[in-house]
């Protein structure tokens, strides 16, 4: 049994009368790819929002690497080692791809604030090389100097993934990384996810595409109405009648 | 969007310095080569270049930068009154004190962004303006404005010489601050200010400010505490404004509250937008155009127009003079307004965008590829 890197304990979150998360408990093992599936409105994105400090839960704790994350600012949580790919790509649309990737690299190297106004950007060769390497891995090296806002939606998602990877986070949160992608692009993303899996980075992935889920996940949890109804290996989840009933509508996978 | 190289930066600096220092020569044919106006170009240049560090890089539109201009002016005049007529300590104090005020105001106003930030800064500037007329009269001398007097202590000057007859004039270690020597002092300070702004633009710090403008949410989830970045930019631009204010007092030792009015804050916004927000040179161009209009166009009258059209046949100039006269003299605001509308509608990136477009047009005509292919280390993997 490996270490538990992230533990969500009894988290509750309501929006007005709507209970988005109720008694959510989840343990994420280090080095594993953990997929969260569940019907629309099950609270998957809310769960990630709580993890990165975008939302404060009504009660409960989120412990990352033995440290309580509740009440911390988003940038502190990121500096602790959690990066997130959003459902709609959050990139820097006015900057070049290279700059988009260099900025997160600086965040890892320099921390939350550094006033280096007299350093020249063109002297930052290490950061630049690292950014180029990631962009090459992700297949965007040829557009390195174009403006990120001009990319297609699929490429923006890949760029955002590159921005997260360059930080070498301990935990990577992916919110539907293949939503809206063509099958060809989806396969490319799966390959990429498999490749970075070897690096030992822990990942939580929210996904509707079962093809993606069963290709990459070591462990799957099913979220419905704000709580985990089943958790196990892909095979266990496939065979679980409760899951088939609640989520898959009885269809056999 | 290739990263600017150091060599390129040095080249830009050299050209910029040459252009600024030779202004008395090449502005001669345009009728703008007299010291008063040249000093204004340099001083407002510093103001706009500094303002652009905040507005151009972070996108935070401050409508209250005139307050720092005023703080700088009052500080400088007090330094002339109490210490010495040398402008060196005066501008140092101007920069420090306006930086301190910027820290305080920025700390409060940067809690909000967008229009709320603009309104907060405007409110602060108006507050300063009204305070200068009322409660702070002992410091600001109210409506009369803060002036030099023969009886001022001037402690440091007194160590070296007795008070002379009449009012002393400002100097920079013996160099008079009036006339052309005054312009050259201002010009060299402008060049240094521009150099610092160029360093900021091309530093990791500068690119992070641009990233905040582009997507502040992403910045936060990328591990940056954005508030200190914004505050630093705000303080730096406030210090630039204080420096400009100090120099205004240095070239003309008088500080009045009207310098802090909202129109003064609006002017620097106009200059920056007209020239090109977020470009290095743009604000400088904006300053040149607005100050030129203010001082040259406003002085033109019908006789002047007749002279300007003297090369045309009489009947044509007789038609043109009445047509164009509303745009000169008192009507220079009309020309400026029309120009501003034209720029915002057709060239939202300011004059610099226009220059870029012309450049592109030419590079296409010369049929050379205007991009440099980047070296690939290895071939990118093809989709399987």
- pLDDT tens across A133-143, in order? 999 988 888 99
Is A125's Cβ below 8 Å from some Cβ in B? no
For position B340, what pLDDT does the model report? Answer: 86
Contact A90 B232 (CB under 8 A): no
Contact A115 B383 (CB under 8 A): no
Contact A91 B215 (CB under 8 A): yes
Q: Is the pLDDT of residue A85 over 80?
A: yes
pLDDT band at B4 (very low <50, low <70, confident <90, very high): low
For A79, the closest of B9, B223, B380 (CB atoms) is B223
Residue that is written with structure tokens 């409960």 in the block: A60
Q: What is the overall mean pLDDT for chain A?
A: 87
CA atoms within 13 A on the CB side of A198: 5
Burial class (CB in 10 A: 0-12, 13-18, 19+), B274: buried
- pLDDT tens across A145-193, in order? 999 999 988 889 889 999 999 999 999 999 988 877 778 878 887 888 7
Kindly list the strands in the beta sheet with A227-232, ordered across the sheet, starting from the edge strand earlier in the chain: A82-85, A171-175, A202-206, A33-37, A219-224, A227-232
Neighbouring C-beta atoms of residue B132, cutoff 10 Å: 27
Distance of residue A120 Cα from the nearest chain B Cα, in angstroms: 5
Distance of residue B90 Cα from the nearest chain A Cα, in angstroms: 25
How do beta strands A67-68 and A82-85 pair?
Answer: unpaired
Is B206's Cβ below 8 Å from some Cβ in A? yes
For position B47, what pLDDT does the model report? Answer: 97
For B203, the closest of A99, A103, A118 (CB atoms) is A118
Is A108's Cβ below 8 Å from some Cβ in B? yes
Contacts of A208 (CB under 8 A, 6+ apart): A37, A176, A179
For position B175, what pLDDT does the model report? Answer: 87
* Angle, helix B66-82 to helix B226-251, in steps of 10 degrees: 50
Distance of residue B367 Cα from the nearest chain A Cα, in angstroms: 21
Fold match, A1-78+172-177+201-253 / A82-168? yes
Contact A99 B211 (CB under 8 A): yes
- In chain B, DSSP finds a helix count (H) and a strand count (E) of 18, 4
Please, what CATH class does the domain formed by A82-168 belong to?
alpha beta
Q: Is the pLDDT of residue A144 over 50?
A: yes
> What is the share, in percent, of chain A residues with pLDDT greater than 90?
39
Neighbouring C-beta atoms of residue B314, cutoff 10 Å: 10
Q: Is the dihedral of CA B249, B255, B260, B263 positive or negative?
A: negative
Contact B225 A124 (CB under 8 A): no
Classified as helix, coil or strand, A186 is helix
Question: Which among B103, B196, B217, B223 is the top mutation candidate for probing chain A, defined by the most A β-carbons within 10 Å of its own β-carbon?
Answer: B223
Chain A residues near residue B204 by CB distance under 8 angstroms: 106, 110, 114, 116, 119, 121, 124
Domain ranges of chain A: 1-78+172-177+201-253, 82-168
Is B11's Cβ below 8 Å from some Cβ in A? no
Q: Is the pLDDT of residue A246 over 70?
A: no
Q: Tell me the C-alpha distance between A19 and A2, whole Å.
A: 32
For position B366, what pLDDT does the model report? Answer: 53
Please, what CATH class does the domain formed by A1-78+172-177+201-253 belong to?
alpha beta
- pLDDT tens across B17-42, in order? 999 999 999 998 888 888 999 999 99
Residues B94 and B71 sit within 8 Å (Cβ to Cβ): yes
Chain B residues near residue A123 by CB distance under 8 angstroms: 6
Chain A residues near residue B374 by CB distance under 8 angstroms: 141-142, 144-145
For A104, the closest of B5, B222, B236 (CB atoms) is B222
Least confident range from A126-130, B126-130, B296-300: namely B296-300
- pLDDT tens across B224-264, in order? 999 999 999 999 999 999 999 999 999 998 888 888 888 89
Contact B215 A103 (CB under 8 A): no
Question: Which among B224, B280, B348 is the top mutation candidate for probing chain A, defined by the most A β-carbons within 10 Å of its own β-carbon?
Answer: B224
Distance of residue B183 Cα from the nearest chain A Cα, in angstroms: 27
Q: Is A31 left (phi over 0), alpha (psi -120 to 50) or beta?
A: left
**Domain B16-260 listed as CATH 1.10.3470:** yes
For A94, the closest of B6, B210, B224 (CB atoms) is B210
Least confident range from A91-95, B18-22, B154-158: namely B154-158
Nearest residue of A to residue B381, measured between CA atoms: A139
Chain B residues near residue A94 by CB distance under 8 angstroms: 210, 213-214
Contact A167 B222 (CB under 8 A): yes
Q: What is the overall mean pLDDT for chain B?
A: 88
For position A249, what pLDDT does the model report? Answer: 59
Nearest residue of B to residue A76, measured between CA atoms: B223
| Rounded mean pLDDT, A82-99 | 93
> Which comes out higher in pLDDT, residue A201 or B117?
B117
Contact A99 B383 (CB under 8 A): no
Is B356's Cβ below 8 Å from some Cβ in A? no
Is A99's Cβ below 8 Å from some Cβ in B? yes
Chain A residues near residue B192 by CB distance under 8 angstroms: none
Nearest residue of B to residue A189, measured between CA atoms: B383
Q: Tell me the C-alpha distance between B378 and B384, whole Å.
A: 17
Q: Is the pLDDT of residue B122 over 60?
A: yes
Q: Tell me the C-alpha distance between B26 and B19, whole Å.
A: 9
Classified as helix, coil or strand, B12 is helix
Residues A164 and A104 sit within 8 Å (Cβ to Cβ): yes
Is B234's Cβ below 8 Å from some Cβ in A? no
Q: Is B278 left (phi over 0), alpha (psi -120 to 50) or beta?
A: left
Residues A166 and A108 sit within 8 Å (Cβ to Cβ): yes
Chain A residues near residue B236 by CB distance under 8 angstroms: 117
Chain A residues near residue B215 by CB distance under 8 angstroms: 90-93
Classified as helix, coil or strand, B175 is strand
Contact B199 A118 (CB under 8 A): yes
Contact A117 B206 (CB under 8 A): yes
- pLDDT tens across A46-65, in order? 999 999 988 899 999 999 99
Q: Is the pLDDT of residue B364 over 90?
A: no
A:209-248 residues touching chain B, CB 8 A cutoff:
none
Q: Provide the Cα torsion B131, B136, B141, B147; round to 10°.
A: -100
Q: Is B324 left (phi over 0), alpha (psi -120 to 50) or beta?
A: alpha
A:147-186 residues touching chain B, CB 8 A cutoff:
147, 163, 167, 184
Q: Tell me the C-alpha distance between B50 and B41, whole Å.
A: 14
Is B384's Cβ below 8 Å from some Cβ in A? yes
pLDDT band at B384 (very low <50, low <70, confident <90, very high): very low
Distance of residue A50 Cα from the nearest chain B Cα, in angstroms: 13
For B25-111, strand residue ranges (E) read: none
> Which comes out higher in pLDDT, residue A229 or B330?
A229
Chain A residues near residue B209 by CB distance under 8 angstroms: none
Chain A residues near residue B9 by CB distance under 8 angstroms: 120
Least confident range from A57-61, B5-9, B99-103: namely B5-9
């Amino acid at each position: 049994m490996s270490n538990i890197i992230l533990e969500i304990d009894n988290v509750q979150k309501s929006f007005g009368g709507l209970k988005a998360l109720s008694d959510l408990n989840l343990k994420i093992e280090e080095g594993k790819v953990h997929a969260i599936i569940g019907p629309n409105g099950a609270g998957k994105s809310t769960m990630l929002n709580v993890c990165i400090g975008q939302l404060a839960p009504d009660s409960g704790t989120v412990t990352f690497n033995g440290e309580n994350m509740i009440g911390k600012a988003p940038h502190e949580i990121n500096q602790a080692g959690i990066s997130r790919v959003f459902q709609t790509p959050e990139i820097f649309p006015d900057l070049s791809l290279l700059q988009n990737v260099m900025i997160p690299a600086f965040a890892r190297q320099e921390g939350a604030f550094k006033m280096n106004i007299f350093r020249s950007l063109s002297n930052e060769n290490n950061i630049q090389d690292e950014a180029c390497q990631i962009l090459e891995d992700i297949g965007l090296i040829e557009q390195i100097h174009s403006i990120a806002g001009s990319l297609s939606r699929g490429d923006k998602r890949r760029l955002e993934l590159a921005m997260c990877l360059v930080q070498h986070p301990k935990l990577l949160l992916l919110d539907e990384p293949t939503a809206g992608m063509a099958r060809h692009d989806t396969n490319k993303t799966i390959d990429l996810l498999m490749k970075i899996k070897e690096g030992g980075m822990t990942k939580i992935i929210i996904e509707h595409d079962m093809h993606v889920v069963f290709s990459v996940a070591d462990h799957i949890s099913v979220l419905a109405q704000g709580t985990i109804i089943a958790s196990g290996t892909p095979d266990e989840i496939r065979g679980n009648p409760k899951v088939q009933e609640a989520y898959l509508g009885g269809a056999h996978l | 969007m290739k990263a600017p190289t150091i060599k390129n930066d040095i080249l830009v600096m050299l050209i910029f310095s040459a252009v600024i220092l030779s202004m008395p020569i090449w502005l001669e044919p345009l009728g703008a080569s007299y010291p008063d106006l040249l000093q204004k170009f340099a001083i407002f240049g510093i103001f706009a270049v500094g303002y652009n560090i905040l507005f151009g890089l972070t996108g935070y539109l401050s409508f209250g930068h005139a307050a720092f201009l005023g703080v700088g002016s009052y500080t400088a005049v007090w330094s002339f009154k109490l210490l010495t007529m040398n402008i060196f300590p005066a501008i140092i104090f101007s920069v420090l004190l306006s930086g301190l005020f910027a820290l305080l105001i920025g700390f409060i106003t940067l809690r909000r962004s967008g229009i709320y930030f603009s309104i907060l800064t405007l409110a602060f500037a108006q507050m300063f303006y009204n305070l200068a007329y009322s409660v702070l009269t002992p410091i600001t001398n109210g409506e009369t404005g803060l002036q030099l007097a023969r009886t001022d202590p001037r402690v440091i000057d007194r160590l070296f010489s007795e008070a002379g007859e009449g009012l002393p004039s400002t100097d920079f270690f013996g160099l008079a601050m009036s006339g052309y020597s005054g312009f050259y002092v201002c010009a060299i300070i402008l060049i240094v200010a521009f150099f610092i702004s160029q360093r900021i633009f091309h530093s990791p710090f500068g690119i992070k400010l641009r990233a905040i403008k582009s997507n502040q949410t992403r910045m936060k989830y990328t591990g940056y505490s954005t508030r200190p970045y914004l505050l630093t930019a705000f303080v730096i631009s406030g210090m630039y404004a204080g420096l400009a204010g100090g120099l205004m007092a240095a070239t003309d030792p008088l500080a009045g509250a009207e310098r802090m009015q909202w129109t003064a804050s609006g002017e620097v916004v106009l200059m920056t937008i007209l020239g090109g927000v977020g470009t290095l040179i743009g604000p400088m161009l904006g300053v040149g155009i607005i100050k030129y209009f203010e001082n040259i166009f406003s002085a033109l009258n019908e006789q002047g127009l007749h002279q300007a059209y003297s090369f045309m046949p009489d009947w044509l100039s007789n038609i043109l003079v009445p047509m164009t006269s509303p745009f000169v003299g008192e009507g220079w605001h009309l020309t400026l307004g029309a120009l501003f509308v034209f720029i915002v509608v057709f060239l939202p990136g300011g004059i610099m965008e226009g220059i870029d477009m012309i450049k592109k047009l030419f590079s296409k005509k010369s049929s050379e590829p205007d991009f440099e292919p980047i070296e690939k280390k290895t071939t990118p993997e093809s989709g399987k």
